[in-house]
Structure 1
Amino acid sequence: MVSPVSAQNPSSDESVSRDLERAEEYEVTVAGGSVLGANRYQISTGVIIAARYADKLRRVALVALGKYIPKDVIIRDIAQLNKDLYHEIVEKRKLGKLDLVRITVTLHYDENEKRLVFDDIKISAFVNEDECKQAYEKELEDLRRQVQELSEENNKLKESLNKIKEIIQA
């Protein structure tokens, strides 16, 4: 059973052990990382619900970077990144737990300071089909209304033009 302390602390021994086990599974199935150059890497969660981004990012980082960077550095620095991402995802962007996101991080390892330096962080939020359809239908309805209004204006202009022609001919 997980104690309340370890459940709240993502870097507890039990949590780290579980993540390392899952990271080994991920390595075999879906490693979401790339080596970009000397000490430069890119990791990605793939598309996932927002509620699971932190676990997925930590596991992908362990798989992709574990051969090159000490695991304690990865766990520490990804934990801090996850806190920053939480602020961005939940508080700034107001995404819900079930919203789909993909997080891609470009980083390098500073060997002197023994820390990960995050160069570029991209959070891609995906809109579900129903929301797209609603927005499309609303836009389509607005365009139809505008066409109708323009058509009515055109008819009024034609009537005015005809009246002007009648006055000129009389």
Structure 2
Amino acid sequence: MPTLSSGYVIAGGYADKLRRTAFAQLRDEIKGGVISSQEVARAVGELNSTLYKILVDRFKVDKGDVVRIRIDYQIE
């Protein structure tokens, strides 16, 4: 199962980092027509929204704090 990993990133920039990482990891699947770029963008948007609720609302992470996000995923 592939893992989406942001590496260490400032919390205020995690969304952009995850989006770029997801598109880089799924580049071959997008080119091969397995998944559309719109579907990747939609899924990453949902992920970022959920992570925002967890990081900001639950853990009270400040935008200057450093976080590392690692998520296993699969394409269906």
TM-score under structure 2 length normalisation:
0.88
Paired residue for 1:102?
Answer: 68
Q: Whose helix fraction is larger, Structure 1's or Structure 2's?
A: 1
- After superposition, the C-alpha distances for 1:112-164 in whole angstroms (9 at most, x for unaligned) are xxxxxxxxxxxxxxxxxxxxxxxxxxxxxxxxxxxxxxxxxxxxxxxxxxxxx
The alpha-carbon deviation at position 61 of structure 1 amounts to 0.1
* Structure exhibiting the larger radius of gyration computed from Cα positions: 1
Counterpart CA distance in 2 for 1:92 and 1:62 is 28
- After superposition, the C-alpha distances for 1:23-61 in whole angstroms (9 at most, x for unaligned) are xxxxxxxxxxxxxxxxx3211111000000000000100
Q: How do 1:1-170 residues align onto structure 2 when only pairs under 5 Å count?
A: 40-68=1-29, 69-110=35-76
Q: How many residues align?
A: 71
Gaps of 5+ in 2: 30-34
Counterpart CA distance in 2 for 1:50 and 1:81 is 14
State the Cα RMSD in Å: 0.9
TM-score under structure 1 length normalisation:
0.41
Percent identity of equivalent pairs = 37
Gaps of 5+ in 1: 1-39, 111-170
